[in-house]
């Protein structure tokens, strides 16, 4: 009887431990688009998703053009999602309307844009908690260091990798994962 109780306890503890170590699904995270409408990440199952924290007044802002080029080239297998953030040198101070007008007028952006998000710190959005914490993404811990840092998720919702700002959207480090 003691052996059965002990085995049951071991099984219970190991099952609980396995459940805690299992990563959270990115498809369960709630996002809001720049226009206020909900974004359902589950709608992109089967496609890669490239998440990029963006800003309108940054030295990397011209990457919007390559993000649009990447989206145009691979949109049957890729969704690009820009996440405006004002956390780096206040380089995204505008309203949602300002951001949309800037991106459309200057770069012809047609890919998805979220509302402004905190990508680091105490109020870090759940999306960026998932992208930056191995306990949630099941792969790696990282830190968002600057605007235009990129995170690639595969069509099954697994984090592929992340890329610092200097890696341009059309770089082979990213595109090789889309073939």
Rounded (5°) CA angle 25-147-57: 135
Q: Is 103 one of the catalytic residues?
A: no
Per-residue HEC secondary structure of the chain comes to CHHHHHHHHHHHHHHHHHHHHCCCCHHHCEEEECCCCEEEHHHHCCCEEEEEEECCCCCCCCHHHHHHHHHHHHCCCEEEEEEECCCCCCCCCCCHHHHHHHHHHHHCCCCEEECCCCCCCCCCCHHHHHHHCHHHHCCCCCCCCCCCCEEEECCCCCEEEEECCCCCCCCHHHHHHHC
CB atoms within 10 A of CB 116: 23
Active-site residue, from 58, 81, 117, 131: 58
9 strand-pairing partners: none
Instruction: Name the residue among 67, 72, 64, 111 with its Cα closest to residue 92.
Output: 64
Q: Which active-site residues does the annotation give?
A: 58
């Amino acid at each position: 009887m003691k052996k059965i109780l002990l085995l049951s306890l071991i099984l219970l503890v190991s099952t609980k431990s396995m459940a805690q170590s299992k990563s959270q699904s990115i498809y369960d995270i709630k996002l809001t688009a720049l226009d206020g409408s909900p974004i359902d990440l589950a709608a992109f199952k089967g496609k890669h998703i490239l998440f990029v924290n963006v800003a309108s007044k940054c030295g990397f802002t011209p990457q919007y053009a390559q993000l649009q080029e990447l989206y145009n080239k691979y949109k049957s297998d890729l969704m690009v999602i820009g996440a405006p953030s004002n956390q780096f040198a206040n380089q995204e101070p505008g309203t949602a309307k300002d951001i949309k007008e800037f991106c459309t007028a200057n770069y012809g952006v047609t890919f998805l844009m979220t509302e402004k998000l905190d990508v680091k710190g105490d109020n870090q959005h759940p999306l960026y908690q998932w992208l930056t914490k191995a306990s949630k993404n099941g792969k790696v811990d990282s830190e968002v260091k600057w605007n235009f840092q990129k995170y690639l998720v595969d069509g099954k919702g697994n984090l592929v990798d992340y890329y610092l700002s200097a890696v341009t959207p059309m770089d082979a480090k990213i595109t090789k994962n889309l073939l």
